Structures are given as structure tokens and as C-alpha cells.
Structure 1
Amino acid sequence: MWSWVLHRITGVLTFFFLFVHVLDTALVRVSPNTYDAIIETYKNPIVNLMEVGLVGAVLYHALNGIRVILVDFWSKGAKYQHVMLWSLIGVWVLVMIPGTYFMLERTVSDLFGGGN
């Protein structure tokens, strides 16, 4: 049940990100200076953490979507759904650990080590 709830939450979060992304990208046609100003506000550690969360949400949503498809369309899907859930969690962790490191590397460097 929690995988279902998390799948819905990550889907909604991804939708809202895409909505905001389309809106701020559309600004480039209306006012390039405003677009540049908004993009500049995204360059801070809080937004960087939100980007890590977005990647985690999209990755979970994609992996769980594959699991849902397998449960629905594979004759043995229901039998192995629990194993597939733990497998997707394992893959998610294996991808997110290095992904988070590389996404936060510059932010941590800027905060504690003096960036470029």
C-alpha cells in the first residue's frame, strides 16, 4: 500500500515540477531578462536539494511504474510483486547514492570549501 501512495505522490510532484518548468521556460519568449532573473534565483543550495528530491521522485516513479506494469501484464507478476518492490528499492538506493553525491558536490564545495 505504501508503494502505491508513494507512487501517487511522486507522480503529482513530477507533474507540478513539469508545470513550473513549462511556465518558467515560456518566459524566455515573453521577457528574456525576467527569464534570466528567475533562472538565477534557482542557483542556491535549497533548490539544489529540491533537485535531488526531484530526481529521487522521478526515479522511484519510473521504477515503480515498471513494477506495476509487470504485476499487471506478467502472469507471475502478482507472485513476485514483493520481491520486485524490494528490488526497485535496492536499485533506487544504488542509483541515488552516487547521484546525490554528484548533484550536491558543487553545493557542498561552495558552502564549505569555497567554490570556483
Structure 2
Amino acid sequence: MHRITGVITAFFIFFHIISTSAPARSGWEAWLEEVANLDGITPISILFYIAMGAVLFHGLNGVRLLLVEALALGIGRPEKPKPPYIAPSLRGFQRRLIHIVFALWIILWIALGYVLFLT
């Protein structure tokens, strides 16, 4: 999921840079104009909503990965693999972190949809 949302985020950034770097429209004014034109439910606003969901998940999961990889939170001691193999990193603290990331992502994505489509 992290890789997929990373690819979606990269495509969004690429096309966003291309769309706002046109000679007639550039900079902050172009971005404000683009966001102001997202009134109602249009194909562009749906794509924007999907891209923002990907950015949210990618960012939240990135924070989780930083906690795990940089601070070694929830990794634990190495174990000898025994069938059926369940990675120790996916038990306990790691599993709670993954659930927290998904819960925050759903809550924030729903809030973004409310702001984007219903206000």
C-alpha cells in the first residue's frame, strides 16, 4: 500500500507541476485558481480526492516506518522461525501502529471529502 500510494503521489506531483507551470499561469495564483475551480463533484475533484487520500496514507505510514526503522520501536528480539511463520514485527506494537495509521487515514480522508465535496 505504501508503494502504491507513493506512485500515485509522484504522478500527482508531476502533473500538478506541469499544470501550474504553464507560461500563462504559474505560481501561487495558479494554484489558488485551480483549487477554487474544484467546486462540486467533477472528475477532476474526484481524482484530486484520490490523490489526497494517497498523500495522507503515504505520509502517515511514512511516520510509522520512521518510528520503526529509525527508533526501532516494536521490532523486538529476533526469533527462530517456526511454522506457521508469523513475522514478530506484525504482532503486538507493530500491529497496533498499523491499525492506528489506517484509522487516522480513514478519519482524515473522510474529513477531507466533507470539506472538498460538501462545504
Provide the TM-score with structure 1 as the length reference. Answer: 0.69
SS of residue in 2 equivalent to 1:8: helix
Alignment-derived partner of residue 61 in structure 1: 58
Aligned residues with identical type, % of pairs: 30
Q: What is the aligned partner in structure 1 of residue 100 from structure 2?
A: 87
The 2-side partners of 1:21 and 1:94 are apart by 25
Which ranges in structure 1 are unaligned for 5 or more consecutive residues?
1-5, 107-116
The separation in 2 between residues aligned to 1:14 and 1:76, in whole angstroms, is 27
Once residues 20 and 60 of structure 1 are traced to their aligned partners in structure 2, the CA distance between those partners, rounded to angstroms, is: 20
Secondary structure, aligned partner of 1:78:
coil
Mapping of residues 26-65 of structure 1, within 5 Å: 26-27=21-22, 29=23, 31-32=24-25, 43=38, 45-65=42-62
Q: Answer yes or no: is the 8 Å Cα contact 1:14–1:57 preserved in 2.
A: yes
Q: Which runs of 5+ in 2 are unaligned?
A: 77-92
Aligned to 2:13: 18
Quick one: distance in 1 between partners of 2:104 and 2:56?
A: 10
- Runs of 4 or more, structure 1, over 6 Å off, are none
Q: CA deviation at 1:82?
A: 1.2
**Which structure has the bigger radius of gyration?**
2
Residue 74 (str. 1) matches residue 87 (str. 2): no
Query: Are 1:49 and 1:104, in contact at CA under 8 Å, matched by a contact in 2?
Result: no
Deviations 1:50-83 (Å, cap 9, x if unpaired)? Answer: 1111111000000000111111122333252111
TM-score, normalization by structure 2:
0.67
> RMSD over aligned Cα, in angstroms?
2.0
Of the three residues 3, 11, 28, the one matched with 1:8 is: 3
How many residues align? The count is: 92
**Which structure has the highest helix share of the two?**
1
